Every structure is written in structure tokens, then in C-alpha cells.
Amino acid sequence: MTLEIIETLDIALCRQLRRVVFIEEQGVSEADELDDLDDVALHLLAVLDGLAVGSARLLVQGEVGKIGRVCVLQQARGAGIGAALIHAAVARLRAAPGVKKAKLGAQVHALGFYQALGFEAYGPVYDDAGIEHRDMVLGFGD
């Protein structure tokens, strides 16, 4: 098994992965999934044995790097791909000038996953596209 996490300009491929996970699997509406931020974001792609199996989107807003649209295809879950995507996203944000913390909106069922990667939940549970979420943050402290 060879896993690579790469930066990509292939937004269409990332959207295709997100369509499968968010729209088809989780029932998120297309209107909620698609927005105008893809063109200004950095996209990470998880490639397992030559096949794209996951992606994440990074946006820098001042001192905050926002990790979003994290997805892994169902058949590739459980192999550490999601954690590898988050580690790569955090490393990329740490390297960005002026960024002091990473932030994300986690689906409630995934809180433990992100906590194990060092993120801390804060604030109330909220609805995002019909799915309960909670904000999480990881300070860089260096």
C-alpha cells in the first residue's frame, strides 16, 4: 500500500470525491456542498496505490488556517488516510506565514478522531447541511 498526500490543482477530481462522500453517501444537498471557495483554496489529494481516494481543502484567513471538505471514500476508510490528510493539512498550514492555528468544523461523530489528532472542541453543536457539527481548533504554539 502506497499512500501519497499531494497538493493538486484538479478541483474537479476533488469535487468528484466530495460528491460521492457528502452528496451521495451523506445526503448533503449540492447547493450546500458547492461554493465559490474552491478557486481560492489549496487542495490536498490522498492517492492510494495510484488512485485518488480522499481530499481536503485549506483556506487561510489571517492567523487561522481552515481545514474543510475532508473526505475519504468508503472503501478506503480505516487505513489511516483521513489522519494522513489532517497531518498534511496541519503541516501545510504551519508552514504558511502568519498562521497560528488550524480550525475545522467536525461532524459530531468524528470528534474523537480529531481529538486524537490534537484538536480541541469548543462552542455549541450546530447544524451544517443537515449534519450536526462542532468547531475544533489546534494551536501551533511555536
Q: Within the chain, which residues score under 70 in pLDDT?
A: 142
pLDDT at 84: 97
pLDDT at 141: 72
State the pTM of this model. 0.95
Fold (topology level) of 3-100: Aminopeptidase (3.40.630)
Contact yes or no for 48/1 (Cβ under 8 A): yes
DSSP state at residue 77? T
Identity at 111, one-letter amino acid code? L
3-state secondary structure of 122: strand
Cα 119 from Cα 30, distance rounded (Å): 28
Cα 29 from Cα 122, distance rounded (Å): 26
